[in-house]
Chain A
Amino acid sequence: MSVTPALELSGINKSFGSKTVLKDVSMRIGQNEVVGLIGENGAGKSTLLKLLAGLHQQDSGGLRIHGIDRQLRNASHAAELGIGVVHQEQSLLTNLSVAENIHLGGAKNRNKDAGSSLGFLNWKTINAQATKSLRRIGLDMDPRAMIADLTFAQRQMVEIAKAVEVGEHAHALPIVILDEPTSVLEPSEIKRLAGEIQRLREIGSVIFVSHRLEEVLEFTDRIYVLRHGKVVAERETKSVNEEELFALMTGRQSVRVREDLQDFAEADTVLEVKNLSTAGGLDEITLTLKAGQLHSLVGATSSGCEEVVRAIFGVERITSGSIKIAGHPVDKLTVRERIRRGMAYLPSERKSEGIVSGMSVTENMALAHLDATHGRGLRRRNLEVQLSNMWMDRLDIRPRDGQAAIAELSGGNQQKVALAKWLCDPNLKLLLLDRPFRGLDPGAIESVKEAVRQACHGGVAVLTIADTLEEALELADDITVLKDGAVTASINVLAERPSVVDILGKMV
């Protein structure tokens, strides 16, 4: 290619202490090109992104931006050179308007800031500039809208506009880095994002980081695969398929075989939900789960799936209806009493609801069943250690160190700990999972799926909210489709063999 690439990395090395995170990484991102970057958790993706965002500095190796050798000093230096990052965790200030947020990102990076003079803000200019930035990526949005009032997807679009604005002021074509942008988007929103990425391609370059292989295949021109800190493959998107990428990324072959479906007519009933309604909008939900059965709830964002699961667990107040576990009514019981009856709930918000950062792996595992490792209210360390060693081995939690602070584990391993917290209960009857695979890398997803299947084989009933329809079809024995808080379809996979299109029809 005769044109200068927008970004060139050559032989980048980076280590933290004795741990090498990036080994001799070389990449080239052309102008007007969308490049995918994939890898499992811990493969070095985030370190590489932080390097490009100016938040870390490489130990050795070169970085050329628009053909000039650069050493990024800090985040604002990276921004000055036209690199804009849309982080996985959103960084907008929710109490400010769209325009204020976009202005904040750009303001620091220009010598002359048109939006303010002598420290006074010129709202007209700020709003006009924001409108311009939004238009560039095809967004028609009121710049005065408060971020707090926007949906997650809309906020992300503002983030993209902000990242483009950053490049704008560098007087160079912007290089926009999208870190896991699709992990919490709805199908329609993902479609919209696809359109935005197309527009970004016209005005600059994009690095698209994702776990979701099908999206990487759809959105990108070229793909780099990172494994253990090394670039193990570079592929033209047209020339690869999902299986090959999965194999390159994890170093093993993908296993996606649906085991033989069973008939659960004879099995014991574990959960019986009848005409459940809540103030939050659930309308007469009825569900039955048998021992060993995996039941998937599917629906769009505000369809009420999460409320169903939370109401069953007792953290969403119900207005009418009944919930029975193994024949006993539980709807008057506290969360603790429900846990004693064999209920378990793995929330989708892992960091804020699934784990306690600041506690160790062992302490987290013991948390929901303190009686099991405590005798008469006193901790028994040897029991705690035995329990955590056993589950660290069963779920392959790394590192194998019960004393490690859970905050230092990767997302996938944190999720395994959050799951072990419930699986360790020998009396477990009903496992409620809210999008358990969200944000995990394919390797961790396989381990969690395997653990869930094993629980089913052991007679546990599992009610899970599926992130995608494919996921529901791959795992579930029964599928219930929700829309606006009401059941629109109940599908027995064994009897009906539904397709994705069948289910999609009931969702919208």
Chain B
Amino acid sequence: MVQTPTIARTPQALRIRTKPAAISLSRLMPAIVLVILVAAITVVEPQFIGGGGIRIMLVQCLPLLFLACGQMLVMLLGGIDLSNAAMGVLAAVLVASWLGPLGWLAPVLTLLVVAAIGSLSGWLSGYFQVPTFAVTLGAMGVWQAAALLISDQTTVSINQNLEIIGWVLDVRFLGLEAGVWLGALVVAGIWFMTNRTSLGQELKAVGLNERTAILSGISNLKTRTLVHCASGFLAGLAGLILTAQQGTATATGAGVGLLLPSIAAAIIGGCAVAGGISRPVNVAFGACIVTLVPIGAAAIGIDPRIQYVVFGLIIVLAVAASIDRSSRTPLY
């Protein structure tokens, strides 16, 4: 059908380019905001750059990065995953309790479990046509409770085999921890999937116009289940990193508060709540920004009690600067 396309010579007048293919400023905004933030911190604390501050930040933001990437994929379909942090905590608790008895099987099994429970949320929302907001709100409570039960409400400490997951933060390639490279790999993989594959086109189509997508033979049940599966899997990675960072895991510890930052990072990265947009690289910048703000505020010496005020303001400003308004053209 397409072997010998007859590309007739078209009159010059027809060759109107509707838009120059330039990268709009809003797409560069997350990077610009991040550079400004780093510069501002460096002015106050010159050793931030020299003393490996950047590397520490990259390692610090890894759990958030994975959660934000999952959140981005769910948001690409116009949904939201309120259960991702809870799945991350569940994964942290699971891997901590399984590492001793199961060894290297523990992380594998953990990732499989959270990917499966993530898929369940997606499938439920797709099959019963329930908004993801409602399904994942319920799921959040369930997985939080599950984490509490499994950990018996105490800190799960790891007595042996910590190195099975710990190496991602110990081994370094080219000066950066393996975990950071893993983050980069995930971002690159998602970029490739969304931009270069059929699946990416299907996700984009469902996110932009679900009805047209369904009538073009694209299954919204499949796409929805897949993005929530990915969100669960990535939350699992976040949980593994959290446990590796601390050597222990609790159902109430680090990770519980990462839900809203993951949404913030995705939105700073330019994702639209209405769906259809995925920009993994910008979401990575968003995760860095969200991680840096408290670090920067502490470095500058801002009273911890008003740190959240500063955090809130910077998030709003960053979102205002980077959000894509092109699809929100006014009525006239």
Contact = CB atoms under 8 A, between A and B. Distances in A.
Contact of A389 (B7, B198, B209): B7
Contacts of A356: 204-205, 208-209, 212-213
A424 B1 contact: yes
- Kindly list the 5 A-B residue pairs having the minimum CB-CB distance in the complex, ordered from nearest: A336-B217, A390-B5, A368-B216, A339-B217, A358-B208
A347 interface: yes
A354 B10 contact: no
Contacts of B6: 390, 393
Given A345-B215, A378-B196, A389 B5 contact: yes
A315 interface: yes
A405 B329 CA distance: 14
B5 A368 contact: no
A399 B14 contact: yes
Contacts of B17: 399, 401, 403-404
Contact of A358 (B21, B199, B219, B327): B327
A60 B147 CA distance: 70
Contacts of A366: 201
Contacts of B204: 356, 359, 363
B214 A335 contact: yes
Interface in B306-330: 327
Contact of A374 (B1, B198, B214, B276): B198
A386 interface: yes
B305 interface: no
A400 B217 contact: no
A367 to B, nearest CB: 5
15 contacts: A50-B332, A335-B215, A336-B218, A357-B209, A367-B205, A370-B202, A378-B198, A379-B198, A386-B2, A393-B7, A393-B8, A399-B16, A401-B15, A401-B16, A404-B18
A421 B332 CA distance: 29
B216 A421 contact: yes
Contacts of A367: 201, 205, 212-213, 216, 218
B196 to A, nearest CB: 5
A46 to B, nearest CB: 10
A354 B212 contact: yes
B129 interface: no
Given A356-B212, A393-B7, 6 more contacts: A349-B211, A353-B212, A370-B201, A374-B197, A387-B1, A401-B15
A194 to B, nearest CB: 30
Nearest to A408: B18
Contact of A393 (B10, B200, B215, B219): B10
Interface string B187-210: 000000001111111101100110
A316 B270 CA distance: 37
Contacts of B332: 50, 55-56
A358 B1 CA distance: 27
B199 A377 contact: yes
A432 B299 CA distance: 65
A315 B216 contact: no
Contacts of B10: 393, 400
Interface residues of B, number: 38
A359 B15 CA distance: 19
A383 B215 contact: no
Contacts of A338: 217
B2 A347 contact: no
A315 B219 contact: no
A454 interface: no
Interface in A284-336: 313, 315, 334-336
Interface in B158-201: 195-201
Contacts of A353: 209, 211-212, 215
A347 B215 contact: yes
A335 B217 contact: yes
Contacts of A462: none
A390 B2 CA distance: 8
Interface in B247-283: 276
A352 B16 contact: no
Contact of B2 (A334, A372, A404): A372
A21 interface: no
A400 B208 contact: no
Name which of B17, B199, B211, B213 has the most chain A CB atoms within 10 A of its CB.
Answer: B211
Interface in A37-58: 50, 55-56
B217 A404 contact: no
B214 A315 contact: yes
A353 B76 CA distance: 19
Contacts of B200: 379
Contacts of B217: 334-336, 338-340, 368
Given A335-B217, A358-B276, A421-B216, A398 B209 contact: no
Contacts of B16: 399, 401
A426 interface: yes
Name which of B204, B211, B217 has the most chain A CB atoms within 10 A of its CB.
Answer: B217
B277 to A, nearest CB: 9
A144 to B, nearest CB: 28
Name which of A50, A370, A404 has the most chain B CB atoms within 10 A of its CB.
Answer: A370
Name which of B10, B215, B216 has the most chain A CB atoms within 10 A of its CB.
Answer: B216
B2 A398 contact: no
A355 interface: yes
Contacts of B213: 356, 367
A359 B208 contact: yes
Given A356-B213, A372-B1, A393-B8, A403 B219 contact: no
B18 A359 contact: no
Interface in A371-412: 371-374, 377-379, 383, 386-387, 389-390, 393, 398-401, 403-405, 408
A218 B172 CA distance: 81
A379 B215 contact: no
Interface in B1-29: 1-2, 5-8, 10, 14-19, 21
Contacts of A426: 1
A75 B188 CA distance: 48
A335 B222 CA distance: 13
A209 B51 CA distance: 70
A360 B73 CA distance: 21
B2 A379 contact: no
Nearest to B16: A399
Contacts of B218: 336, 367
Contacts of A363: 201, 204-205
Given A390-B7, A393-B6, A355 B209 contact: yes
Nearest to A373: B2
A332 to B, nearest CB: 15
A315 B215 contact: yes
A22 B286 CA distance: 45
Nearest to A366: B201
A398 B327 CA distance: 22
B146 to A, nearest CB: 34
Nearest to B15: A400
